A and B are shown apart, each in its own frame.
Chain A
Amino acid sequence: MLAASLAVKVGKMNCEIVGKVPDTGLYLDRMGLYKLTKTKSPFSYNMKEPAGRFVPISIIKTAQQQSDFVTDMIPLLHLSEQNSRIIKYIVSELIRNVLEHAKSGSGAIVAAQYYKKTNRISIGICDNGIGVWRSMNESWHPITDADALRLALTPGITGTTRKEGGTSENAGAGLFFIKSIAKITRNYFVIYSGNAEYTLLRHRKRIKGFPRLYADPERDPHNQTNSAPNFQGTLVAVDISLDETPEFQTLLNVIGKVYDDAIRERKRAKYKEPKFI
Chain B
Amino acid sequence: MINLIKMHSKIGDFAENKEIAKKLRVESIMPSLSMGDEVILDFDKVDGATQSFIHSLVSEPIRQLGDKTFNNLYFKNTNEDIKKIVTIVYRYMQESLGRDTDTNSDIQ
Residues of A within 8 A of B (CB): 63-64, 66-67, 70-71, 81, 85, 88-89, 92-93, 96, 100, 156, 163-171, 173-174, 177, 248-249, 252-253, 255-256, 259-260, 263-264, 267
Contact = CB atoms under 8 A, between A and B. Distances in A.
B88 A96 contact: no
Interface stretch (B11-19, B37-45, B66-74): B11-19
Interface residues of B, number: 35
A252 B54 CA distance: 14
B84 A259 contact: no
A89 B96 contact: no
Interface in B37-62: 47-48, 50-52, 55-56, 59-60
A96 B16 contact: yes
Considering residues A64, A67, A267, which has the most beta carbons from chain B within 10 angstroms of its beta carbon? Answer: A67
A249 B81 contact: yes
B14 A92 contact: yes
4 cross-chain pairs, A with B, having the tightest CB-CB distances, nearest first: A165-B96, A92-B16, A168-B60, A164-B96
B95 A263 contact: yes
Contacts of A163: 96
Interface of B: 12-14, 16-20, 22, 25, 47-48, 50-52, 55-56, 59-60, 63, 80-81, 84-85, 87-89, 91-93, 95-98, 101
A263 to B, nearest CB: 5
Given A96-B16, A165-B59, A168-B63, A88 B88 contact: no
A183 B59 CA distance: 27
Contacts of B84: 249, 252-253, 256
Contacts of B50: 89, 92-93, 96
A239 B50 CA distance: 19
Given A71-B12, A96-B18, A168-B63, A173 B96 contact: no
B102 to A, nearest CB: 13
Considering residues B20, B51, B89, which has the most beta carbons from chain A within 10 angstroms of its beta carbon? Answer: B51
Contacts of B60: 168
Given A64-B17, A88-B14, A171 B85 contact: no
